Amino acid sequence: MSAPGAARVPEPTLPAAAVLEVDRLRVTFPVRRGVLGRRVGTLVAVDDVSFAVRPGRTLGLVGESGCGKSTLGRAILRLCEAESGRVSVDGVDVRALTGERLRRARRKMQMIFQDPYASLDPRRTVLDCVAEPLTVHGLASSRRAALPAVTRLLERVGLEASHLGRYPHELSGGQRQRVGIARALALEPLLVVADEPVSALDMSIRAQIVNLLVELQRELGLAYLFIAHDLALVRYVSHEVAVMYLGRVVEHAPVRALFARPFHPYTHALLASAPVPDPDAERGRRRLVLAGEPPSPLDPPTGCAFHPRCPHAEARCARERPELRTVGDGHRAACHLEAPRAWPASPPAGTEGA
């Protein structure tokens, strides 16, 4: 085996205080029905999620659509409001802030979106887009005054001064994402939440952007919350990985432990489902096809939310919800099993839902 994953930044020698601490965060949305929008229920999108991210480190957040990973990212940045729990960024309780103090705290935490085309205003030039955070936060008195800083930022993300006057539609997908990154870095944040930052890009471009994000982390000591459905990508960039299922973290571990010794049956299934671009490796891998689909958060199963799809489920799994517990060094899993268990031989492929 080699040194830690090629992309990952070495451990800092001194443990630094966490940039981001999330403690028992819960995010809910009202479910409304009818023309009057009467509230008929509550959808729990994120439930009892806790973790911390230190400077220069990346926490990868994986899970399938609807698992709450994007909502979690948005709640941390206060792009949506949590119901309870604590989010602290650089020691400041972000959920308690309002007005000017919230605005100041926002400088420390920035977001990179999946689709830079949707997050950039089509009528504004690259200079406008990247200068905006600087002028809004009073770091530059005007667009013109921001020019030197914007030029430096563009250079840093691999663009040139000649891009300053361009509009988003005149740029390639990769270039647009570079603009998005420059904009996120303009305020020198400590924490960057990257939500599927490369999944809209062509595969020959993805590595460019991923490597750029890794370099920037190395140079600037950024803390990343990296949200993605692509496990291979998460493995490549993360120091730690948290796996979400139906709003809850079901497993959280240092990256190598998670991929080498997954504990939770759902993590097993995710890893086995992701194809590897090597026919020999594919042939040697266990065929494990998880039946059914993730349940609806509107109607979550009792007990462990994964139990209807789990081959090891026992009576207790339908009754009691397993809490996260330590199963190894820095490795936690929410599962009633005593030890990780291999999946049984695959059921006849692609068959009945749970």
Instruction: Kindly calculate the radius of gyration of the chain based on its CA atoms and give it in whole angstroms.
Output: 21
Identify whether the C-beta of residue 242 lies closer than 8 Å to the C-beta of residue 62.
yes
Query: What is the smallest separation between the CB atom of 277 and another protein, expressed in angstroms?
Result: 4
User: Phi, psi at residue 129, to the nearest 5°?
Assistant: -60, -45
Q: Does 10 bind another protein (CB under 8 A)?
A: no
Subset of 188-207 contacting another protein (CB under 8 A): 202-207
Query: What is the smallest separation between the CB atom of 34 and another protein, expressed in angstroms?
Result: 18
Residue 42 and residue 45: Cα distance in Å, rounded?
9
Q: Does 210 bind another protein (CB under 8 A)?
A: yes
Q: Does 345 bind another protein (CB under 8 A)?
A: no
Q: Does 43 bind another protein (CB under 8 A)?
A: no
Beta pairing, strands 58-62 & 84-89: unpaired
Q: Does 280 bind another protein (CB under 8 A)?
A: yes
Helix 143-156 vs helix 126-136: crossing angle, to nearest 10: 110
Contact with another protein (CB under 8 A): which of 208, 311, 312, 321?
Answer: 208
Residue 49 and residue 135: Cα distance in Å, rounded?
35
Contact with another protein (CB under 8 A): which of 290, 317, 327, 335?
Answer: 290
Q: Does 274 bind another protein (CB under 8 A)?
A: yes
Q: Does 278 bind another protein (CB under 8 A)?
A: yes
Identify whether the C-beta of residue 85 lies closer than 8 Å to the C-beta of residue 46.
no
Specify whether the backbone of 40 is left (phi greater than 0), alpha (psi in -120 to 50) or beta: alpha
Contact with another protein (CB under 8 A): which of 57, 178, 235, 332?
Answer: 235
Query: What is the smallest separation between the CB atom of 271 and another protein, expressed in angstroms?
Result: 6
Q: Does 245 bind another protein (CB under 8 A)?
A: no
Contact with another protein (CB under 8 A): which of 277, 315, 338, 344?
Answer: 277
Which amino acid is present at 221?
A: G
Residue of 294, 250, 268, 301 lying closest to 66 (CA atoms): 294
Q: Does 305 bind another protein (CB under 8 A)?
A: no
Identify whether the C-beta of residue 22 lies closer than 8 Å to the C-beta of residue 51.
yes
With respect to another protein, which residue has the nearer C-beta, 329 or 352? 352
Subset of 60-79 contacting another protein (CB under 8 A): 64-65
Beta pairing, strands 191-195 & 223-227: parallel
Contact with another protein (CB under 8 A): which of 10, 148, 292, 330?
Answer: 292
Q: Does 5 bind another protein (CB under 8 A)?
A: yes
Instruction: Give the interface size with another protein as a residue count (CB under 8 A).
Output: 60
Contact with another protein (CB under 8 A): which of 96, 260, 298, 318?
Answer: 260
Contact with another protein (CB under 8 A): which of 27, 271, 304, 313?
Answer: 271
CB atoms within 10 A of CB 215: 15
Identify whether the C-beta of residue 7 lies closer than 8 Å to the C-beta of residue 236.
yes
Contact with another protein (CB under 8 A): which of 256, 312, 321, 331?
Answer: 256
Q: Does 259 bind another protein (CB under 8 A)?
A: yes
Beta pairing, strands 248-254 & 240-245: antiparallel
Identify whether the C-beta of residue 248 lies closer than 8 Å to the C-beta of residue 44.
no
Residues of the shown chain interacting with another protein in the complex, contacts defined by CB under 8 A? 1-7, 64-65, 172-175, 202-208, 210-211, 229-233, 235-236, 256, 259-260, 269-282, 285, 288-294, 349-354
